[in-house]
Structure 1
């Protein structure tokens, strides 16, 4: 009985492989380079432009805060220098000490604001990029699906995809089954020329 189970397993596996090989002969396969298609899709370029504009706006806002922060530091250093002067009176020293503490407090608050702004902007940008990327990939996949149906492909593989250990999933394909160029043309039909 113990010899029967491995023999049965081998027989079932052999039969399954035979079925796969016999049906694979009639299988029509299409190939797409999704990295290339994604990069050359006009909506990807438009989305990148918007994200870069948002990054630039955030950078300018951060530069403004940095300039204010530097002014506060300069003011604090000047007050600290004045406090070291032995010629100033006790009343003036007390006043300058209070001013220095206020400036230091403002600088710390501005530093916190800068960090919070940077973190918030970074999270917003990452979320926006991820959302746009998913939407664009979904659009591309819809067009791939439509084209695959028109061309009567049974299966479409992404030749830019990597398998385990970074090894390309698709090791070889005929150029004739790669319809990336046609897909890019179809996707970019709606693009307005600059």
Structure 2
């Protein structure tokens, strides 16, 4: 779909150029680089890393609890297998063993559900942040294109559905990526 639109735009550019009706002003931009080098992307990634670290910590703590419970279960199993126990004591240990096993299953299930839910939340938050960052970049790009009177701005980092770059060649003189990066990072905190 995107490739078809870009192809139509390129044909339109070539048609205008051949007719000579007006001069077409075209620029390129590297959207991958803008996204990668924008300081807010780093901030979002750091926030994601912090949330992942908290999830890992919570997981480790719960895994430790599960491991302790497994040790209790093993101890109860050994006690249950003791041939010197009378039937009443064996029955009591067996009931404790069953309860501990059910507790372990519930704990494992609860941990898995918790981690799945939290990972989904972190992923959704990251997607929201990235959408916001992309909207900021796109807004600035549109403002720059209008201010400098560009007819078309092409993303030179974009690939077609066959993973071939859509824009195969452009002069660097038409690339506005550096100027946009400077504008985007003007409010970046000093390191």
**Same-fold call, TM > 0.5?**
yes
Q: Which runs of 5+ in 2 are unaligned?
A: 1-13
- Over alpha carbons, which structure has the higher Rg? 1
- Number of residues of Structure 1 aligned to a counterpart in Structure 2: 178
Match of 2:120 in 1: 123
- Displaced runs of 4+ in structure 1, greater than 6 A? none
Where does residue 145 of structure 1 map in the other structure? 142
On the 8 A contact 2:16/2:24 being kept in 1, the answer is: no
1:152-171 paired onto structure 2 within 5 Å: 152-171=149-168
Map residues 27-106 of structure 1 onto 2, 5 A cutoff: 27-106=24-103
1:42-84: per-residue Cα shift (whole Å, max 9, x none)?
1000011111100100110011110101111111111111111
Deviation at 1:23, TM superposition (A): 5.2
- What is the aligned partner in structure 1 of residue 8 from structure 2? none
Shift of the 190–62 alpha-carbon distance from structure 1 to 2, 3 Å rule, reads: same
Give structure 1 stretches of 5+ with no counterpart.
1-16
**Change in 2 beyond 3 A, CA 1:158/1:70:** same
TM-score where L is the length of structure 2: 0.89
Superposed CA deviations along residues 144-175 of structure 1, whole A, max 9, x for unmatched, are 11111222211111111011211101100000
State the SS of the aligned residue for 2:165.
coil
CA RMSD of aligned residues (A): 1.5
Aligned partner of 1:189 among 163, 186, 190:
186
**Structure 1 length-normalised TM:** 0.87
